[in-house]
Chain A
């Protein structure tokens, strides 16, 4: 499973990193998110799905 954050849609709500701090990294300057990993580690798929579901802007994509 791969995880990405659409930087044109993310507004820095930070819920993805709150849900899965190992999968997302927040910018120091504005709190906007990026994926911290390319591939979701085994056993963390549900956390990735939860982060995608929780994003208020629906900026997190899984593939």
Chain B
């Protein structure tokens, strides 16, 4: 090929898209060599062109993440599934095949002003004041999960605790039947960790389909027989003169379930595993719980960053931090690497339960800050406290602990079995407790937005 046949645009792109890296975030290397990559990338290539998955910008340094991701004026989260706008691909790199995209991922795959309208509808269910009202329900769920296993001296912290509490609580906040948590629980985790080549993928996709159908059925029922909760809020919402249809409601429900379950489970499991491996630190956390509860939670969030990053699309040509970006180019924002940047965090690879100035970005930055962050923190703290109070000598079994093979989407765990000195049961188990909580949620209309009901009520 002679020089005059080269498209001048591609010559420009070649020079612009530097430095080049070749890091497959969906391979096991991203997990097994994460520490080395987290040392190398922010230091040497904080903004780089990653040649995998068709090529995209990958930003890993703390300063660069901060400078770029808050530029909502030049970034889009839009997942344009019906090709009605610019055809952007949402927050996953690579995006799912277009034929598999039934709904976009709620507000996380929307841009303002639409994103803001929906967010304003959902905030009064998820704000700190709204979440505080659920504390008695969280306490009761944690007690029941532990009671199912306290007499045996054995528990799987993922299957028996960290999968259940966020799932049941999310059902309650949405206004769905609490017992339906089992329909949503397994697919919400398995669709994240099951590789497309896994022989189990057919069964997992089928469970995901059943979950979507159950959600659609419940949305239709709630239109006819309203009950308080996030879905009721969405059904009644006025989105700039438009009332969301069932698929638009489903899109937000999918995000709240998909975003809320696996992430909180991942954080809780990793924290419990670390506390088992560091008994002196566990004793300290028990002893100084009131002083360390918040800082320890933020530190586990920083260190184990449940969602290691998110995708965006540049919606305009722009220069930031000396790099030229073009409209339509994809970007991946690395929260997990940013959280290990030594420029901001002293000894970034060590967990310090009393860390100060912990400016982590595990809930994202800018207008898309995780809307469930307050729920995540509260459920995490409640589960951790329950385990520390009632199973203070728990020892996790490393041979039974199963981490996700890859952490391209979520840094999660499938199983975390542990043993402990058996204790005394305090009340009924999960099944009976969930049935009892359903009556209380209904009678006391617990799932109303904080704008309608500010005070917490006793659950019993």
Contact = CB atoms under 8 A, between A and B. Distances in A.
A63 interface: no
Contacts of A30: 120, 123-124, 127
Given A31-B374, A56-B361, A57-B70, A11 B367 contact: yes
A28 interface: yes
A4 B450 CA distance: 26
B380 to A, nearest CB: 14
Contacts of A54: 356-359
B124 A56 contact: no
Contacts of A2: none
Nearest to B344: A53
B374 A53 contact: no
Contacts of A40: none
B129 interface: yes
Interface residues of A, number: 20
Nearest to A30: B123
A18 interface: yes
Contacts of A17: 128
Contact of B357 (A14, A31, A50): A50
A13 B127 contact: no
A6 to B, nearest CB: 12
B127 A31 contact: yes
B369 A13 contact: yes
Contact of A27 (B127, B365, B374, B454): B127
Interface string B100-134: 00000000000000000000100110011110000
A11 B366 contact: yes
A14 B359 contact: no
Interface string B333-360: 0000000000000000000000011111
Given A15-B298, A30-B123, A56 B128 contact: no
A29 interface: yes
A7 to B, nearest CB: 13
7 contacts: A11-B369, A12-B123, A15-B358, A27-B127, A31-B129, A31-B374, A53-B359
